[in-house]
């Protein structure tokens, strides 16, 4: 299964995918998938603490500031990556996600921002329905133990608040402080879904394009058959 696009801009993307109700031909401009009419996400704070604009101008390198949601889309466009986004109410848990995702095709995922005793940061991405035992995970990675990173550290490094953690936030980690661990079962799926820097939306992307995105970010990445 692939994602197709026509023209430019995030609203023009159309998925060549099938949902539970048949072929999906939707985008941000389609009311069927524009299910949430709540406020748009605020711009993320920049590295100087000043909130940035909503990305209406041309995309600029992300080394000096935190990308907004719309700048992320521009970055994906620049990489030639097909994507489409569905808006929904804010999602903080897998249970809320199940209610919000509806018939969005592909695997939905959750993300853990973790820290080991040496201060190394980890982003662990697993299927949304997987229960993660941090002790078993640490053993699988050959680490003494793992704990959750504090919200302030999360915003400093990845530029997103708790609830909006996503591998797309790796674009904000120019220093590459984070090591990435991807669940092997998730990475066997052809279509994947992640928050586009906000938990008020879900962005669908093909497995191959997700790998291309990760390669462009340049982070150390491991695909692991995780326990649990």
Residues 169-186, mean pLDDT to the nearest whole number? 97
Residue 147, classed as helix, strand or coil, is strand
74/116 Cα distance (integer angstroms): 33
205/75 Cα distance (integer angstroms): 14
- The model carries a pTM of 0.75
At 168, give phi and psi (nearest 5°).
Answer: -60, -25
Residues 190-194, mean pLDDT to the nearest whole number? 98
User: How does residue 28 score in pLDDT terms, banded at 50, 70 and 90?
Assistant: very low
Question: Is residue 22's pLDDT more than 70?
Answer: no
Q: Which string of b and e fits 204-215 if b means at least 16 CB within 10 Å?
A: bbbbebbbbbee
74/196 Cα distance (integer angstroms): 12
Q: What does the DSSP 8-state code read for residue 9? A: S
| Cβ 166 vs Cβ 160: under 8 Å | yes
Percent of the chain with pLDDT over 90: 64
pLDDT at 228 (0 to 100): 67
pLDDT at 70 (0 to 100): 96
User: How does residue 93 score in pLDDT terms, banded at 50, 70 and 90?
Assistant: confident
Compute CA 53 distance to the chain's CA centroid, rounded to the nearest angstrom. Answer: 20
Q: What does the DSSP 8-state code read for residue 133? A: -
> Domains in the chain, start-ordered, CATH in brackets?
2-224 (3.90.960.10)
Question: Is residue 164's pLDDT more than 90?
Answer: yes
Q: What is the pLDDT of residues 106-146, one digit of tens each?
A: 999 999 999 999 999 999 999 999 999 999 999 999 998 99
Percent of the chain with pLDDT over 70: 71
Other C-beta atoms closer than 10 Å to the C-beta of 26 total 22
| Cβ 146 vs Cβ 116: under 8 Å | yes
66/48 Cα distance (integer angstroms): 10
Strand partners, 193: 108, 204
pLDDT at 3 (0 to 100): 43
The residue that leads in pLDDT, 164 or 26, is 164
Query: Mean pLDDT over all residues of the chain?
Result: 78
At 74, give phi and psi (nearest 5°).
Answer: -65, -40
Task: Report the range of poorest mean pLDDT among 11-20, 68-77, 108-117.
Answer: 11-20
């Amino acid at each position: 299964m692939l994602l197709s696009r026509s023209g430019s801009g995030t609203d023009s993307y159309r998925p060549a995918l099938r949902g539970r109700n048949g072929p999906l031909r939707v985008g941000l401009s389609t009311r069927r998938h524009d299910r949430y009419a709540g406020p748009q996400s605020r711009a993320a704070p920049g590295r100087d603490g000043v909130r940035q604009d909503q990305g209406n101008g041309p995309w600029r390198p992300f080394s000096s500031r935190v990308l907004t949601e719309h700048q992320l889309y521009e970055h994906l466009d620049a990489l030639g990556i097909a994507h489409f986004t569905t808006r929904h109410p804010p999602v903080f848990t897998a249970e809320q996600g199940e209610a919000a995702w509806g018939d969005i095709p592909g695997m939905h995922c959750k993300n853990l921002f973790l820290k080991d005793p040496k201060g190394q940061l980890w982003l662990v991405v697993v299927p949304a329905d997987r229960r993660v035992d941090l002790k078993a995970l640490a053993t699988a990675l050959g680490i003494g133990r793992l704990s959750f990173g504090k919200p302030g550290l999360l915003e400093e490094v990845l530029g997103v608040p708790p609830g909006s953690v996503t591998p797309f936030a790796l674009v904000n980690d120019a220093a590459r402080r984070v090591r990435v661990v991807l669940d092997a079962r998730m990475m066997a799926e052809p279509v994947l879904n992640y928050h586009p820097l906000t938990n008020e939306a879900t962005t669908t992307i093909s497995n191959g394009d997700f790998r291309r995105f990760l390669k462009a970010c340049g982070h150390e990445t491991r695909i692991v058959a995780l326990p649990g």
